[in-house]
Amino acid sequence: MAESVAGSSADHSPDPSRRDFIHIAVVAAAAGGVAAIAWPFVDQMNPSSDTLALSSIEYDVAKVPLGQQVTVLYRKQPLFVRHRTPAEIAKAVADDHADLRDPATDASRVKPGKDEWLILIGVCTHLGCTPTFGGGEWGGWFCPCHGSQYDTSGRIRKGPAPKNLAVPDYKFETGTKIKVG
Amino acid sequence: MSGPSSYEPKTAIERWLDVRLPIVRFGVDLMDFPTPKNLNYWWTFGGILAFCLIEQIVTGIILGMHYNASGDGAFNSVQAIMREVNYGWLIRYIHANGASMFFVAVYIHMFRGVYYGSYKAPRELLWLIGCAIYLTMMATAFMGYVLPWGQMSFWGAKVITNLFGALPVIGPSLTTWLWGGFTVDAPTLNRFYSLHYLLPFVIAGLVGLHIWALHVPGNSNPTGVNVKDKSDTVPFHPYYTVKDGFAVSVFVIMFALFVFFMPEALGHVDNNIPANPLVTPAHIVPEWYFLPYYAILRAVPDKLTGVLLMGAAIACIFALPWLDTSRVRSMRYRPQAKLYFFIFVFDCLLLGLCGAHEPDEPFIRGVSGFMLGDSNINSYVWVSRVAAFYYFAYFVLITPILGLRETPLPAPESISSPVLSHPAAAHSGAVAAPEKKG
């Protein structure tokens, strides 16, 4: 207050730096307020609590016969539970050091001692379609949308997809029961 | 919207209104708008598009009264519209085919703009607003296609939203945000319905700006020569209201042919299967109006590059006013440009054809071809690569270079001169040095 009295007593022209300060302060406060209220309007589109609550499932893999695959719904997406034959495993291991787009060994994609069980998210890493088993040159999965081909370890071998079929976070709770997510 | 007004309020109530809200003046000026007298039928597509927008909004609002935007109810409510609601089948078929008709008209309107150089100064902003309308139309049509919640709806939504996932860093969280979940699901459907209802009104607003931007310089015309005086123009009403009205009538006949005799011709049978997140249809294609972009996307074996090229294909259309170096507006007087233009039209259709086929399918049946790179030379993927190359070359090489190197034909002195003299004299009798004219 003392300064403002002193300023106004000196001459009646406004102090430009003080005018600038109040302009900047007002604009900053308004911008901060707008940004703060904008976030709820943006974030409301992110997954809601009930959607997030569906994030883990349990499955007994013993239900899948040898050489077969079961597709389970996990986070509203297909989850492949494949009971691999020794031939499929051998083929996957043999290609560990082939020219891979997204290099990974077969062992890194299964749990130790459980390499007959391949658990994958059944979503093509290109544009999200669900690949079908048994198609393509590598005896793994084939995506009907844009022709991506995966091998028996779910690794990308041909086509536009950039990455291997994703292995979700899971663990064996008992000998045959897995918990995904 | 611009220029001197010819309106004279005659009655007391009109005079009272004119100084308070000059809405009558606005309407009269709009109808009296001086319009070049040589506009051909390619210029009627603006009116046809206005008809399409109104028709889509009216049928859409009616469908919204019967549609249930929920993951469990959407598919069945569409079936109920088709079977139970009085004339529901008619209104839905008008709306579904209306989207295709809208795109037929908009593509012709855009090609007309390219051929006659309608985007050149001072109409660049008019062109940009038009491009924004086109982009909004694509978003609206895409989200509308998702609403019946059939297999094609679901997987179409999944593939298109996953395009955003190709963007580095922000991609995955952006797609989750668009979906409201870990994949396309009921929350996605609800928000798409909300936006599908909103965007047509955004389009209507943009159309208002488009017409405003049109009424500042006035219409271009088939000669590309600027309007010199009043003798070059006629009032919009009755001359073009009648011409546009006739064109709309012919268009509606073609539209009705689809609605009544082949309502499913432009759709896909798989959309009669309810959405199933576990099974992708064996052959997934977008609606016909997106096929050229889809072919460009698939032409590239790399995900991010494919997505970026698809975006670039649309960006090229926006940039056209600045890519074209020719000062001659109409391709009537640019024989070489005309040739490249017609190849470009054919190229866009060819890309559409490629988008409709599997990439590995042979282009010419019975010819074995040979492997070139990752695919057989006689496959749709190689045809789409060549076609995509021409598409981009047309915008970034041919259009800029041709404008500097070609020798255009002499354009007429004025809009009226080719009409007043013998038609054959239009080209030869005109004054040379067209490059001095806009």
Q: What are the CA-CA distances from residue B349 to residues A108, B114, B308, B391 (Å)?
A: 47, 16, 21, 11
Same structural domain, B195 and B330: no
Cα(B298)–Cα(A145) distance, rounded to whole angstroms? Answer: 10
Residue A37 in domain? yes
B277 φ/ψ angles, rounded to the nearest 5 degrees: -70, -5
Same structural domain, A29 and A69: no
Same structural domain, A140 and A103: yes
Same structural domain, B340 and B374: yes
| Secondary-structure breakdown of chain A: helix, strand, coil percentages, each rounded to the nearest 5 | 30, 25, 45
Residue B270 in domain? yes
Same structural domain, B280 and B379: no
Inter-chain residue contact A127 with B177, CB threshold 8 Å: no
Residue A2 in domain? no
Q: Which residues of A touch B (CB under 8 A)?
A: 42, 45-48, 51, 55, 71, 73, 75-78, 122-123, 126-132, 143-147, 158-162
From A73, which residue of chain B is nearest by alpha-carbon distance?
A: B278
Per-residue pLDDT averaged across B226-255, rounded? 94
| Residue, of A11 and B38, whose pLDDT is higher | B38
Residue B413 in domain? no
Identify the CATH number of the domain in which residue B242 sits: 1.20.810.10
Interface with B, mutate which of A39, A54, A76 (most B CBs under 10 A): A76
Of A22, A46, A70, which residue sits at a domain end? A46
Inter-chain residue contact A145 with B301, CB threshold 8 Å: no
From B160, which residue of chain A is nearest by alpha-carbon distance?
A: A127
Same structural domain, A78 and A18: no
Total number of domains constituting chain B: 3
Same structural domain, B91 and B156: yes
Range of the domain at A26: 14-46
Same structural domain, A148 and A74: yes
Beta bridge partners of A81: A70, A119
Same structural domain, A39 and A67: no
pLDDT at B145 over 60: yes
Residue A3 in domain? no
Residue A4 in domain? no
| Sheet with A117-121, edge to edge strand ranges | A69-74, A77-83, A117-121
pLDDT at B376 over 90: no
Same structural domain, B157 and B304: no
pLDDT, one tens digit per residue, over A75-109 is 888 999 999 999 999 999 998 888 888 999 999 99
Residue B388 in domain? yes
Nearest to B180 among A48, A75, A147 (CB): A48
Q: In which band, very low, low, confident or very high, does the pLDDT at B415 lie, cut at 50, 70 and 90?
A: confident
Give the number of beta-carbon pairs within 8 Å between A and B.
Answer: 92
Quote the tokens at residue B201: 């009104």
Cα(B151)–Cα(B179) distance, rounded to whole angstroms? Answer: 17
Residue A6 in domain? no
Same structural domain, B272 and B326: no
Q: Compute the mean pLDDT over every residue in chain B, rounded to the nearest whole number.
A: 91
Inter-chain residue contact B277 with A73, CB threshold 8 Å: yes
pLDDT, one tens digit per residue, over B335-349 is 999 999 999 999 999
Same structural domain, B67 and B140: yes
Q: What are the CA-CA distances from residue B263 to residues A120, A181, B241 (Å)?
A: 41, 45, 30
pLDDT at B74 over 70: yes
Same structural domain, B126 and B101: yes
Shortest distance between the Cα of B396 and any Cα of chain A, in A, equals 26
Same structural domain, B225 and B327: no
Question: Is the ipTM, as predicted for this complex, more than 0.85?
Answer: no
pLDDT, one tens digit per residue, over B88-126 is 999 999 999 999 999 999 999 999 999 999 999 999 999
Shortest distance between the Cα of B314 and any Cα of chain A, in A, equals 20
Nearest to B155 among A126, A129, A131 (CB): A129
Inter-chain residue contact B360 with A147, CB threshold 8 Å: yes
Whether B191 has its CB under 8 Å from any CB of chain A: the answer is yes
Cα of A51 vs its chain's centroid, Å: 15
Q: What percent of chain B has pLDDT over 90?
A: 77
Same structural domain, B119 and B47: yes
Same structural domain, B328 and B186: no
Query: Which residues of chain B lie closer than 8 angstroms to A71, CB-CB?
Result: 278
Residue B304 in domain? yes
Same structural domain, A32 and A107: no
Nearest to A130 among B278, B300, B359 (CB): B278
From A129, which residue of chain B is nearest by alpha-carbon distance?
A: B280
Inter-chain residue contact B360 with A129, CB threshold 8 Å: no
Q: Are A93 and A100 in contact (CB under 8 A)?
A: no
Interface with A, mutate which of B182, B193, B283, B305 (most A CBs under 10 A): B182
Whether B280 has its CB under 8 Å from any CB of chain A: the answer is yes
Q: So what's the pLDDT on residue B400?
A: 97
Same structural domain, A108 and A165: yes
Tens place of pLDDT per residue across chain A (181 aa): 444 444 444 455 567 788 889 999 999 999 999 999 999 889 999 988 888 877 788 999 988 999 899 999 888 889 999 999 999 999 999 988 888 889 999 999 999 988 899 999 999 998 888 999 988 888 899 988 888 899 999 999 988 888 999 999 999 988 889 998 8
Cα(B438)–Cα(B435) distance, rounded to whole angstroms? Answer: 7
Residue B165 in domain? yes
Same structural domain, B224 and B201: yes
Inter-chain residue contact A147 with B158, CB threshold 8 Å: no
Q: Identify residue A5 by its one-letter amino acid code.
A: V
Same structural domain, A95 and A56: yes
Residue A9 in domain? no
Inter-chain residue contact A128 with B360, CB threshold 8 Å: no
Query: Which residues of chain B lie closer than 8 angstroms to A128, CB-CB?
Result: 158-159, 161-162, 165, 183-184
Per-residue pLDDT averaged across B415-420, rounded? 75
Inter-chain residue contact B178 with A73, CB threshold 8 Å: no
Nearest to A145 among B159, B161, B165 (CB): B159
Per-residue pLDDT averaged across B275-301, rounded? 90
Total number of domains constituting chain A: 2
Same structural domain, A83 and A172: yes
Cα(B140)–Cα(B147) distance, rounded to whole angstroms? Answer: 11
Q: Which residues contact A38 (CB under 8 A, 6 or more apart)?
A: none
Inter-chain residue contact A128 with B302, CB threshold 8 Å: no
Q: How many CA atoms lie within 13 A of B333 on its CB side?
A: 28
Same structural domain, A107 and A167: yes
Range of the domain at B394: 295-407
Element (H, E) at B328: none
Our answer to whether residue A146 is catalytic in this structure is yes
From A131, which residue of chain B is nearest by alpha-carbon distance?
A: B280
Inter-chain residue contact A130 with B279, CB threshold 8 Å: yes
pLDDT at B351 over 60: yes
Same structural domain, A131 and A157: yes
Identify the CATH number of the domain in which residue A62 sits: 2.102.10.10
B387: phi > 0 → left, psi -120 to 50 → alpha, else beta; which?
alpha
Beta bridge partners of A178: A59, A172
Q: Which residues contact B46 (CB under 8 A, 6 or more apart)?
A: B109, B244
Residue A63 in domain? yes
pLDDT at B42 over 60: yes
Residue A5 in domain? no
Q: So what's the pLDDT on residue A56?
A: 83
Same structural domain, A35 and A57: no
Q: So what's the pLDDT on residue B320?
A: 97
Q: What are the CA-CA distances from residue A37 to residues A47, B174, B191, B305 (Å)?
A: 19, 20, 20, 36
